[in-house]
Chain A
């Protein structure tokens, strides 16, 4: 199972919006509405930000939103804040009953 494809890095200024893409295949992202997004700060454990493409766990800011079109899922962060600077990973359920992660995207808040 190949890793999902994410851009290595994205950046934005405080207050702006950014979008991170996550591209897979019809056997994972495109075949199921089971895409999750994780935020990871350096030296910390990942934190679940979005599950099932669009849903936010309790306590996650509504500045974070998810969507999907075909084989590509996206995470949008609006009103960028300094504390959003982190690595972001997507994951998807696959037709092999496994999970696959993306390679990760480093978000820099300028």
Chain B
């Protein structure tokens, strides 16, 4: 059974940094691309970032580009999201997801964790 457990969320001041982690189990982690998707309180889903199985390719939404870095440690079956220069509008539940049903260009986030809440406030 696929399990994804996010951690690292919390309260941070504007301009601060936070690193989110997502511990994966139940599948061969290195074989799958992974994504981060966020959801602001009471709002819709927003795709944030994705990374290939090897970690060699990364993708970012314009809203976080330059402030966020996605990475993975396949030896630890863990996905990361390093977030810097945080803003109030980054406040959201951050979900990690295992991408499946991949074509040559696109995957669908298919299995999701329960999320970790990031609150950016002074």
**A residues touching B (Cβ–Cβ < 8 Å)?**
1, 3, 32, 34, 36, 38, 40, 45-48, 51-52, 55, 57, 89, 91, 93, 97-104
Contact = CB atoms under 8 A, between A and B. Distances in A.
A71 B113 CA distance: 31
Contact of B105 (A3, A47, A97): A97
A46 B114 CA distance: 9
B20 to A, nearest CB: 15
Contact of B95 (A46, A48, A100): A46
Interface residues of B, number: 25
A34 B50 CA distance: 16
14 contacts: A34-B105, A45-B95, A45-B114, A46-B112, A52-B101, A52-B108, A57-B101, A91-B47, A93-B106, A98-B60, A98-B61, A99-B35, A99-B109, A100-B47
B73 to A, nearest CB: 23
B44 A1 contact: no
Contact of B101 (A47, A55, A104): A55
Given A91-B47, A101-B44, A48 B59 contact: no
Interface of B: 35, 37, 44-47, 50, 59-62, 95, 100-101, 103, 105-106, 108-115
B113 A45 contact: yes
Nearest to B62: A1
B108 A97 contact: no
Nearest to B50: A99
A97 B59 contact: yes
A45 B115 contact: yes
Contacts of B108: 34, 36, 48, 51-52, 91
Given A1-B62, A45-B114, A98-B61, A93 B105 contact: yes
A46 B108 CA distance: 12
